[in-house]
Amino acid sequence: MTTWTTYLEQHRSRYLTELLDLLSIPSISSLPDYAAEVQRAAEWVADRLQRAGLEQVAILPTSGHPVVTGSWLHAPDKPTILIYGHFDTQPVDPIDQWTTPPFTPTIRDGRVYARGASDDKGNMLIPILAVEALLRTQGTLPVNVKFFLEGQEEIGSPQIPAFLDAERERFACDMVISADAGQWSEQQPSIWVGCKGLAGIQIDVQGPHTDLHSGLYGGVLQNPIHALVELLHSMRAPDGTILVAGFLESAHPLSEVDRALIEKVPLDEEAYRNQLGVPALAGEPGYSTLERNWARPTLEINGIWGGFQGAGVKTVIPATAHAKISCRLVAGQEPEQIVDLLTDHVRRHTPPGVAVTVQALPGRARPYLMPIEHPGNQAVHRVLAELYGREPYYIRSGATLPVADLFLRTLGADTVSFGFLLDDEQFHAPDEFFRLASFERGQTAYCRLLAELGR
Amino acid sequence: MTTWTTYLEQHRSRYLTELLDLLSIPSISSLPDYAAEVQRAAEWVADRLQRAGLEQVAILPTSGHPVVTGSWLHAPDKPTILIYGHFDTQPVDPIDQWTTPPFTPTIRDGRVYARGASDDKGNMLIPILAVEALLRTQGTLPVNVKFFLEGQEEIGSPQIPAFLDAERERFACDMVISADAGQWSEQQPSIWVGCKGLAGIQIDVQGPHTDLHSGLYGGVLQNPIHALVELLHSMRAPDGTILVAGFLESAHPLSEVDRALIEKVPLDEEAYRNQLGVPALAGEPGYSTLERNWARPTLEINGIWGGFQGAGVKTVIPATAHAKISCRLVAGQEPEQIVDLLTDHVRRHTPPGVAVTVQALPGRARPYLMPIEHPGNQAVHRVLAELYGREPYYIRSGATLPVADLFLRTLGADTVSFGFLLDDEQFHAPDEFFRLASFERGQTAYCRLLAELGR
């Protein structure tokens, strides 16, 4: 009987052809004109799940782009794994910066260039192919598997929370594995264990009822921009330490284990500084660059405006001044609580002479931290260590991954990241590509991971 | 022989007709389409000077709108007085808020409504009429008189410094009297003794070479808006005290006499606060509202911008942040020196992680302070006290009056303000008007002032 490794080798050429076929569908979720292409990609994926041997294959409508599912549930004593990925893509602008057309997949130097190659069609296809190899060679899977493949990830999955809430029975599982994920480098594997939450406010300062001449009215009243500067200054020390009462206290401190794991991850700070184009890296004292980025909360002014912004001079005391602030949150911090702390801080620090209002901004997200000792992480660790010949790093992200929190809250399941994109693969940019070596290594990795999870 | 008082009474009706005639010329200096109307107003004024009995009447070209002059120089042992005013006007927008058309002068309730009625055609015409009354009734003037009537005041007199420099012989004088001036109220006269200077900078903060995702790059680098907030915070204390080293030290302190004179000027702070629409007045501790406005330097952020300013959320760490600052200066402070102090302050307070540049903004002006005991002020004091039956207030302005400094530097002559506009007369706004009572009282006042100056 053929082993799955042999099967993967024998079908390598067909799998690549299938990848190129999927990549040729311009399933750009953000552009209404391409909605039919997103639908076409969904049909392609559903057909592919069917041909891989999955059952209950369906294209499920949402009020936006659809979700594709399929499952294999014949391992009654084994855990149920929900595999997550997405078949929609980013837009392609600036189109003139592509070496070859974004939806004409082209292989150069062991890489396939196309929009969506790395994020996420290539990575999403991997577990489907792995499942096929296992089913075709063994007639069974080591675990129960469900697929949750969506078509709106690149626009923030607006319909997914309501959809998942309504479909929680169908997607009940013990663990989620996200194929929308990557590794630290070609030689160095990594396990993603957390991301930050998000909460933001807008501060609106109202001074006089109209812009005033800064000479005729100089010195008599509070300038709303100065009042805003004082408010903003009161929220964060010059060294980056957040001063909002209760804010840092609500963040779970980094454990010694956390710090040790982060310290293992190499970062060339000088190269990083150069890449960003700044004279120096900076942030909260007492923490390394990666600790600050991954595991410490931040407060950033995203925008500020007030008064005259044109060329030359207009000497006004403006009627109003405004700022938008967002905070990245870590374990222990709830977005609602942070908005309350910020609002309360502004209220207590408003200087005399102006009226200040605070509005909570949309886009809240809860932080997500995966227990390192989670069985999924342990299985991933064994597979990656064996496959790469070295221990994986435990990494995090300073951004949000709302779907992980959504799965946790709706299904009670943690999300294990298991994907093979690499940071240089130009996702969201021209000339996006995916390494064929990653595509093949991923298939092996998924076969081994399912086996590990079934052990 | 007729007295000048009788002459003024006999010609009151003609004088009013002449005022209405001048006000019907739309001499808007800021609009290129109206340049011919500014020229027409100049011709009207030159003709009127001629008919008043003045000599050497001329329309003098500048590289912009013209200057009109005329003189009477037959009092060899007496001082030479240069009378300043302007015959150009502000634009009329919003035109739909005028009760009657701005260049169709209309009399209602003892007021003439027209653009330029108060600022400055009505006030500018007064000394011409007074000179005519004196010459027609006495055949002589108590002092030598020169007129300097310009057509570009409302656009900042851009060509006047070069023009005056070239014409300094023609306009040599012992004292300037500005008819572009007003009184404290209908019942309460005032003498203007000073205005502030002006200097400004723009601060440009450069962080990373492009806007960055505030999650992916949170905590690793200095946010240019935060850096700008720290810089701005370092320049002025929350209570309004300017913290730039050397800044306050360079300002001449207010003398006890100064403070006593300012304290005599009544200000209804609650009405003023209500008019501005702010919860409280505010400014540098230790000084009254009028002291701060008139006699203490100020530092105001006139504009600030950086990052995302649209609706909703865009969680960026922006590449740049910017602010425009202007300072109002008092005696002892030179604009160039203040720009240097500000630049040096920014340099010394720039936080790590960003690059900051400072550019001096155009529009510098030196402060101007008129000695209270100046003979012109003494003469004005006697005339106003007699005419109003009460002592005039000594007042200042928080704005600039560059022409006063220009006359001082170019001609070596101080500027005495002597005009009759009142603050409620809607200059620069719809329904500008001038009180006919002021128009008539002004004529008497100028006849008396010239007599006082010739004593």
Give which of A239, A46, A92 is closest to B352, Cα–Cα. A239
DSSP label at B327? E
Closest chain B C-alpha to A192 CA, distance in angstroms? 14
Domain B4-195+367-454 has CATH 3.40.630.10: yes
| Residues of chain B neighbouring A353 (CB-CB closer than 8 A) | 278-282
CA-closest candidate to residue B210, choices A299, A277, A305, A270: A277
For residue A318, which residues of chain B lie inside 8 Å, CB to CB? 302-303
User: Quick check: pTM over 0.80?
Assistant: yes
Domain layout of chain B by residue ranges: 4-195+367-454, 197-251+297-360
Alpha helices (runs of H) in B304-427, residue ranges in sequence order: 335-349, 375-388, 402-411
* B200 vs B428, more confident: B200
Residue A410: CB partners within 8 Å, gap ≥ 6?
A161, A164, A165, A168
CA distances from A11 to A18, B180, B219 (A): 10, 92, 46
**Cβ(B82)–Cβ(B170) under 8 Å?**
no
- Number of residue pairs across A and B with CB atoms under 8 Å? 276
Task: Tell me the shortest Cα–Cα distance from B171 to chain A, in angstroms.
Answer: 29
Name the H helices within A2-140: 4-10, 12-23, 35-52, 122-138
- Beta-carbon contacts of B311 under 8 Å, excluding residues fewer than 6 positions away, are none
Cα(A10)–Cα(A1) distance, integer angstroms: 14
Q: What is the mean pLDDT of residues B201-221?
A: 95
Residue A154, CB-side half-sphere exposure with 13 Å CA sphere: 22
Nearest to B229 by CA among B253, B260, B205, B196: B205
Mean pLDDT of B383-409: 95
DSSP 3-state of A447: helix
Count of CB atoms situated within 10 Å of the CB of A209: 12
Q: Which residues of A347-381 are buried (b: 16+ CB within 10 A; e: fewer)?
A: eebbbebbebebebbebbbbbbbbeeebbbbebbb
Work out the number of other CB atoms within 10 angstroms of the CB of residue B378.
15
- CA gap A86, A123 in Å, rounded: 9
pLDDT band of B428, cuts 50, 70, 90:
confident
Q: What is the pLDDT of residue A401?
A: 87
Query: Phi and psi dihedrals of B189, rounded to 5?
Result: -80, 165
Query: How large is the C-alpha radius of gyration of chain A?
Result: 25
Contacts of B275 (CB under 8 A, 6+ apart): none
- Report phi then psi at B60, rounded to 5: -100, 125
Contact yes or no for A399 and B216 at CB 8 A: yes
Alpha-carbon distance of B215 to A192, in angstroms, equals 15
Distance from CA of B316 to the nearest CA of A (A): 5
| Nearest residue of chain A to residue B364 (CA atoms) | A313
3-state secondary structure of A241: coil
pLDDT at B53 over 90: yes
Closest alpha carbon within chain A to B210: A276
Query: Is the CB of B218 less than 8 angstroms away from the CB of A316?
Result: no
| Residue A428 confidence (pLDDT) | 87
- Whether the link from the prior residue into A424 is cis, omega within 30° of 0, is no
Distance separating alpha carbons of residues A318 and B164, to the nearest angstrom? 35
Vertex B174 angle, CA B168 and B175, to 5°: 95
- 3-class SS at B68? strand
pLDDT score for B1: 75
3-state DSSP call for residue A296?
A: coil
Q: Cβ of B77: how many Cβ atoms within 10 Å?
A: 6
Could you state, in chain order, the average pLDDT of each consecutive group of 10 residues for chain A (455 residues)?
95 98 97 97 98 98 97 97 97 93 98 97 98 98 98 93 97 98 96 95 96 93 98 96 98 96 96 96 97 97 96 92 97 97 98 97 92 96 98 95 93 97 92 98 98 96
Provide the CB-side half-sphere exposure for B274 (13 A, CA): 5
What single string gives the DSSP state of each residue in B201-241? EEEEEE-SSS-EETTTTTTTB--HHHHHHHHHHHHB-TTS-
Residue B221 and residue A283: Cβ atoms within 8 Å?
A: yes
ipTM rounded to 2 decimals: 0.91
Name chain B contacts of A314, Cβ cutoff 8 Å: 302-303
Assigned fold of B197-251+297-360: Alpha-Beta Plaits (3.30.70)
Q: Residue B335: CA atoms inside 13 Å, Cβ hemisphere, count?
A: 21
Which residue has 């855990």 as its token pair? A79
DSSP string spanning A412-426? ---EEE---B-TTS-
Contact present, A261 and A254 (Cβ < 8 Å): no
- Could you tell me which of A27, A144, A355, A266 has the C-alpha nearest to residue B276? A355
User: Inter-chain contact A200–B312, Cβ cutoff 8 Å?
Assistant: no
Helix axes B122-138, B35-51, angle to 10 degrees: 20
Task: Say which of A228, A230, A362 has its CB closest to residue B312.
Answer: A362
Give A137: exposed, middle or buried? Use CB within 10 Å, 0-12, 13-18, 19+. middle
The angle formed by the CA atoms of residues B125, B128 and B131, to the nearest 5 degrees, is: 150
What confidence score (pLDDT) does residue A187 get?
A: 96
Distances (CA, A) of B128 to A352, B133, B214: 49, 9, 67
| pLDDT for residue B363 is more than 80 | yes
Q: Cα separation of A49 and A56, whole Å?
A: 10
* CB within 8 Å: B282 and A220: yes
CA distance B129 to B83: 13
Give the whole-angstrom CA distance, residue A222 versus residue A319: 10
For helices B12-23 and B35-51, angle between their N-to-C axes, nearest 10 degrees: 160
Q: How many angstroms away from the CA of B353 is the closest CA of chain A? A: 4
Q: Which two tokens stand for residue B280?
A: 């409280």
Residue with tokens 């009429």: B129
- Res A1: pLDDT: 75
CATH architecture of A197-251+297-365: 2-Layer Sandwich (3.30)
Q: What is the per-residue pLDDT for B376?
A: 97
Q: For residue A148, what are its two tokens? A: 């949750």
Cα A200 versus chain centre, distance: 18
B116 torsion bin: left (phi>0), alpha (psi -120 to 50), beta (else): left
Q: Which of A275, A276, A328 to mutate to test the interface with B (most CBs of B within 10 A)?
A: A276
Instruction: Report CB contact under 8 Å: B326, A304.
Output: no
CB burial readout B84-123, b (16+ within 10 A) else e = bbbbbbbbbeeeeebeeebbebbeeeebbbbbbbbbbbbb
Chain A residues near residue B322 by CB distance under 8 angstroms: 309
Residue A8: its pLDDT value, please?
98
User: A349 to chain B nearest CA, in Å?
Assistant: 11
What is the distance in angstroms between the CA of the first residue and the CA of the last residue of chain A? 22
The Cα–Cα gap between B318 and B323 comes to: 14
Q: How far is A190 from chain B (nearest CA, A)?
A: 17
Compute CA B310 distance to the chain's CA centroid, rounded to the nearest angstrom: 37
Q: How far is it, in rounded angstroms, from Cα B92 to Cα B96?
A: 9
Q: Which residues contact A132 (CB under 8 A, 6 or more apart)?
A: A51, A52, A53
Residues paired with A195 in a beta bridge: A368, A397
Query: Where do runs of H (alpha helix) occur along B312-355?
Result: 335-349
Is B220 within 8 Å of A303 when comparing Cβ atoms? no
The encoded tokens of residue A363 equal: 């886009």
**For residues A106 and A417, what is the distance between their CA atoms, to the nearest angstrom?**
28
Q: Which residues of B touch A214 (CB under 8 A)?
A: 298, 300, 302, 326, 328
Distances (CA, A) of A80 to A69, A75, A142, A166, A380: 14, 9, 10, 19, 16
